[in-house]
Amino acid sequence: MRYADLVQLYFDRSNALQWYWTLYVVIAGGLLAFSSLRVRPDVITGVLVTVLFAMFAYKNLGAIGDTTVQRMATLKAIREYPSTEQDAASARRAGEILEPTLIVPAWEGVRNFHVCSDVLVVAAVWAMELRRRRAARTAAVPAKAE
């Protein structure tokens, strides 16, 4: 594998990672929009949405984790790439310019951010459900006549 192939692989994995995050934002946003548009309280729907989102979030986090590990391995291969006489000068120069910009965030921080976001999405779904339940109770109680 050539140096250019490793750099291309690194950016391919970066793009894949970006798509996983984009998918996460779209699903979380759609879920919150769905929850905000519901009118009647329904605990069963809330539980089903929570379970389905948790399953999605778990698999999405796994894919993000796998892709992050692949990026780290590719970056290690880039940094340890053996230069040959033929491409030593160009690879060394490209490496001096490019490698300082290739930064992979620590997995723990990525994981913690994802889990925190998951908790906040579920909390928002249930906050909206509780708001609907309170509104339904308030509407069911007749106002006192003065």
Average pLDDT of span 97-126: 92
Q: Residue 94: what pLDDT?
A: 72
Taking domain 3-140, whether its CATH number is 3.10.620 is answered by: no
The alpha-helical segments, DSSP class H, found in the chain are 3-37, 43-79, 88-98, 107-140
- The pTM for the full model equals 0.81
Question: pLDDT by residue (tens digit) across 14-71?
Answer: 999 999 999 999 999 999 999 999 888 889 999 999 999 999 999 999 999 999 999 9
Q: Residue 145: what pLDDT?
A: 57
Average pLDDT of span 124-129: 94
Q: Residue 20: what pLDDT?
A: 97
Q: Which residues neighbour 136 within 8 Å (Cβ) at sequence distance 6 or greater?
A: 40, 41
Residue 60: how many other CB atoms lie within 10 Å: 19
Q: Which residue has the higher pLDDT, 141 or 27?
A: 27
Question: pLDDT by residue (tens digit) across 73-107?
Answer: 999 988 888 766 566 666 667 777 888 888 888 89
Q: Residue 144: what pLDDT?
A: 63
Residue owning tokens 């750099």: 7
What is the domain partition of the chain in residue ranges? 3-140
Q: Which residue has the higher pLDDT, 62 or 145?
A: 62
**HSE on the CB side for 25, CA within 13 Å?**
7
